[in-house]
Structure 1
Amino acid sequence: MPSTLRLSVLDQSVNRAGRPQDESIRHTVALAEHCERWGYHRFWLSEHHALPTLVGTAPEVLMAAVAARTQRIRIGSAGVMLPHYAPFKVAEQFRVLDALAPGRIDLGVGRAPGSDQRTARLLNPDLQASEDFPRQVLELKAWVTGEELPEGHPGRGIAALPVTSTAPQLWMLGSSAYGAQLAGHLGLPYAFAHFITDGEGCEQALDLYRSTFRPGVLQEPMAVVCLSALVAETDEEAWHQFKSRERARIDRRTGRFGPLLPPERAPRAYSEAEEVEARLLRERAIVGAPDDVAQRLHNLASRWKVDELTLVTWTWDPAAQRRSYELLAAACGLA
């Protein structure tokens, strides 16, 4: 199904039961190479801390490894949880990344902790209040783009190095109206985390972003939607692989966290409330054979008025994850 729809990837370095955690990190790097070959536009990496299901704790480090093993695909964070860090240090890290992969670096930022509050305090004992997030974004934007900070700012006159002919592309990430409004106000590109909300609030956030947008880093709005999708040769096989993700999502909603289970071990007896959640999850899930999923993605992109979707794919078997991206790339005519 050839089209102008761009597809990108968000990988979270999922911890798989029975496999060492370092394998998940190496698999993420190998997956980036694989997705570049199949024509994906971006490869983004998430940040989570002290969460037994996800071991991608340092996207900026993984991005450097991906940069060394790829040539074309854009590489990004989805995202750096900015309240944990000094904006100046983040700007330096991403300028170094841009020197390694000129013109290919996306700096996606968010304000969610990516962890629990106790872990957030360990990452930054002087954790700023969420109201301070806009100031952090403004500082980061200045250091990334080379703008001058205002008179009286303690960082005025200090540059984030190295300064090169290109610069990272700053993105705002979000799953609510807050990020959409801030992205619009600052003229930043915006990514909505559909895979976190199961789509709730997606259209409202995109509408708010576009209606509040004013020229800044960009002259016109640019939005992508990050959503979960899983493809296999047949519907039956795709839904079999989905059992791992379903179990992880249901367990998480009830406070149980752990490595992703293989589909053969994932099913268990749900409570009545859990069964309701599971049915809703299956109804919303984008799972199936390649052509069916490709058509659904095209329909969603048209409905949301976006020309790029970023895909999150969880499987216990890394080979099944790679195959999902292959099949979907072929069905959408990427390569």
Structure 2
Amino acid sequence: MLQCVDIAGTSTRRIPLSVLDQSLVSAGHVPAQAIRDSVTLARACEGFGYHRYWVSEHHGNAAMAGSAPEVLLGALAMATRTMRIGSAGVILPHYAPLKVAEQFRVLEALAPGRIDLGLGRGPGADRQTAYALRPDALDNPVSMSAMDSFPANVEDTLALVRGEPLGDDHVFAGVFAQPRGPTAPQPWILGSGKYSARLAGHLGLPFCQAHFFGSDSEASQAIGAYRAGFRASPTLTEPLVGMCLIAMAAPTSAEAERLFLSYVPWRLSRDAGRMVPLQQPEHAIAAVVGLDQDTIQRLRKTAVFGTPDEVFARIAGLKTGYEIDEMVILAPAYELSVRMASYGLIAGINQTQATDDRPARASEFWL
């Protein structure tokens, strides 16, 4: 098992690190550039040694350009060689399980053994846009009736993507997903709350908790529910937990504070339901002037900004406190170069902390 020494001098394992890329749009740039930037960033993160690179799905969103992760992942499969790539996640209520399974079986054929299929409830869009994605649905795709079918649709998707029969009494008995092959994508359930956590545990799947959506107490409740309800499966014999958080590192504390202040207006807009592109740092920081300190301090708890040592200490604390197997990092910054530099700094401090190069246990990295 890999060991490292943290900045406080106590022994701990090296932290398995992965990336969440939401293809964030920057003001003054066309959204299409964000998609091209995702390919560039993925190449860089593979070089930094990140384990997974996940891309998100959003629709009708001025702040996030990634509307078709299954298409973007095809480009990433060709742009990378060793890093796992996947969705975080496919919004399953918008689609038929067979179509999702076929898309990810194609991806698995392009990059065997490197594809993750992250599934979420969504909706990843406003109600009108969600309905436009599936106008033939019996009810609004974001209604409770559609959400109630999520567990069954997850099970169908898993069976189809693995090449398993749906069952003789299933309405689609005999249906299978092409292209068949010897390997299958690795499934994850994604979410911030207890509903998705319990489903992941019930199905014996790995669960990634979206820490950046809520509070520490919500994270604790979700992860606790996952562990309490976990049942061993052909996928996993023991729980596997990821946590996704916003984190950015800079060479100095002053630069880290600048990154944080430029993040504040974007986060406030997002929390208010107004999805806007990332603003140039000088414009974003100017908007923070006069903001009350209580709000500033509250937002400091939603993300990790600091020097590499400070960021590493916070990530290590979360990993230990919640018994997390893998940390997934989202880096919202206006400039692609700044995002890239931050991922490099975080990966670098993680690597320099390592003092033991023995291989990690298989379940740590879930190879």
TM over 0.5: yes
In 1, the alpha carbon distance for the partners of 2:288 and 2:49 equals 40
Q: 2:221 aligns with which of 204, 207, 210?
A: 204
Q: Which moved more, 1:257-266 or 1:83-92?
A: 257-266
Q: 1:194 aligns with which of 183, 207, 211?
A: 211
Structure 1 residue 157: Cα displacement: 1.3
Q: 1:50 aligns to what?
A: 60
Q: 2:125 aligns to what?
A: 115
Q: 2:9 aligns to what?
A: none
Q: 1:132 aligns to what?
A: 149
| TM-superposition CA deviations, 1:180-204 (whole Å, max 9, x none) | 1000111111100111114341111
| TM-superposition CA deviations, 1:101-125 (whole Å, max 9, x none) | 0000000000020011111000112
Q: 2:236 aligns to what?
A: 218
Structure 1 residue 226: Cα displacement: 0.6
Structure 1 residue 252: Cα displacement: 2.5
RMSD: 1.7
**Counterparts in 2 of 1:88-103, with a 5 A limit?**
88-103=98-113
Instruction: Give 2:279's aligned amino acid.
Output: L
Task: Tell whether 2:351 aligns with 1:302.
Answer: no
In 1, the alpha carbon distance for the partners of 2:183 and 2:314 equals 36
Q: 2:272 aligns with which of 254, 267, 272?
A: 254
In 1, the alpha carbon distance for the partners of 2:119 and 2:318 equals 24
Structure 1 residue 307: Cα displacement: 2.5
Structure 1 residue 20: Cα displacement: 1.8
Aligned residues: 334
Instruction: Give 1:292's aligned amino acid.
Output: E
Structure 1 residue 148: Cα displacement: 1.6
In 1, the alpha carbon distance for the partners of 2:36 and 2:217 equals 33
Q: 1:287 aligns to what?
A: 305
Q: 2:178 aligns to what?
A: 161
Q: 2:197 aligns to what?
A: 180
TM-score in terms of structure 1 length: 0.95
Instruction: Give 1:233's aligned amino acid.
Output: P
Structure 1 residue 234: Cα displacement: 0.7
Task: Tell whether 2:262 aligns with 1:244.
Answer: yes
Q: 1:268 aligns to what?
A: 287
Alignment partner of 2:175: what SS? coil
Instruction: Give 1:238's aligned amino acid.
Output: A
In 2, the alpha carbon distance for the partners of 1:276 and 1:115 equals 30
Instruction: Give 1:286's aligned amino acid.
Output: V
Task: Tell whether 2:328 aligns with 1:318.
Answer: no
CA contact (8 A) 1:172 1:189 kept: yes
Alignment partner of 1:44: what SS? strand
Q: 2:38 aligns to what?
A: 28
Instruction: Give 1:306's aligned amino acid.
Output: I
CA contact (8 A) 2:264 2:288 kept: no
Gaps of 5+ in 1: none
Instruction: Give 2:306's aligned amino acid.
Output: G
Gaps of 5+ in 2: 6-12, 355-367
Q: 2:16 aligns to what?
A: 6
Structure 1 residue 268: Cα displacement: 1.8
CA contact (8 A) 2:60 2:129 kept: yes
CA contact (8 A) 1:242 1:315 kept: no
CA contact (8 A) 1:250 1:277 kept: no
| TM-superposition CA deviations, 1:55-87 (whole Å, max 9, x none) | 111111110000001000000100000000000
